[in-house]
Chain A
């Protein structure tokens, strides 16, 4: 039963601390996405990778957020320093792009981040 996994599921931290969220995409998928869900903005795309290379991170605050894929089985989203307005649920999703088209994305369960 292939699925996207994310750790941690919950994180509470103080303002100014570094936060790292991890994602394991479905084996064989070549595209990984990071989304953030808030009450005000709904689901926002932060960044996405194709074959481990960043393709678009325009949705991400560059000064404090960074996203990487150290290898094909791990994607990370880091916030440093964290701020209360970063409190949200962060989703990772993966999918397979064939002939330049991605349709379905498979989401992980999310990491609920609370910054106090």
Chain B
């Protein structure tokens, strides 16, 4: 039973347009969320995170939105660049004080077309 779901295995976007990657979770105890990016033949790298006390966090071209009532988060990339083509994983963490590990989604392959 997947607690973190990325229902779109792939997404194609034209360069310069907005990329929106979605993630849903089922465990209401999660209170910290992260996005990782992974290029072929490399390990995932941390991209951006958001705490449950916020509904938006922005870092340059990357913005993460959190809708706690819907248990949904999304990553917006604008403008999209060909170098953004990668697999994006969302991950969720239980509350402070817990020693539990991150739970990852299955990933979405983003392709930015020049």
A contact set with B: CB distance below 8 Å: 4, 33, 35, 41-43, 45, 48, 50, 55-56, 91, 93, 97, 99-110, 112
- Residues on the B chain within 8 Å of A41, using CB: 106
Q: Are the C-beta atoms of A93 and B106 separated by less than 8 Å?
A: no
User: For the complex, is B69 an interface residue (Cβ under 8 Å from A)?
Assistant: no
Q: Are the C-beta atoms of B42 and A109 separated by less than 8 Å?
A: yes
Q: What is the bound-complex CA distance between A115 and B114, given in angstroms?
A: 37
- Interface range on chain B (Cβ under 8 Å from partner): 20 to 34
B45: nearest chain-A partner, CB-CB: A107
Q: Which of B32, B34, B101 has the most CB of A within 10 A?
A: B101
B89: nearest chain-A partner, CB-CB: A43
Q: Choose from B97, B104, B105 the contact partner of A99 (Cβ within 8 Å).
A: B97
Q: Are the C-beta atoms of B101 and A56 separated by less than 8 Å?
A: yes
Q: Choose from B34, B96, B98, B104 the contact partner of A104 (Cβ within 8 Å).
A: B34
B contact set with A: CB distance below 8 Å: 32, 34, 36, 41-46, 49, 89, 93, 96-99, 101-107
B38: nearest chain-A partner, CB-CB: A107
Q: Are the C-beta atoms of B99 and A103 separated by less than 8 Å?
A: no
Q: Which of B43, B46, B89, B99 has the most CB of A within 10 A?
A: B43
Shortest distance between the CB of A63 and any CB in chain B (Å): 23
Q: Choose from A99, A102, A107 the contact partner of B44 (Cβ within 8 Å).
A: A107
- Residues on the A chain within 8 Å of B34, using CB: 103-104
Shortest distance between the CB of A111 and any CB in chain B (Å): 10
Q: Are the C-beta atoms of B43 and A107 separated by less than 8 Å?
A: yes
A40: nearest chain-B partner, CB-CB: B106
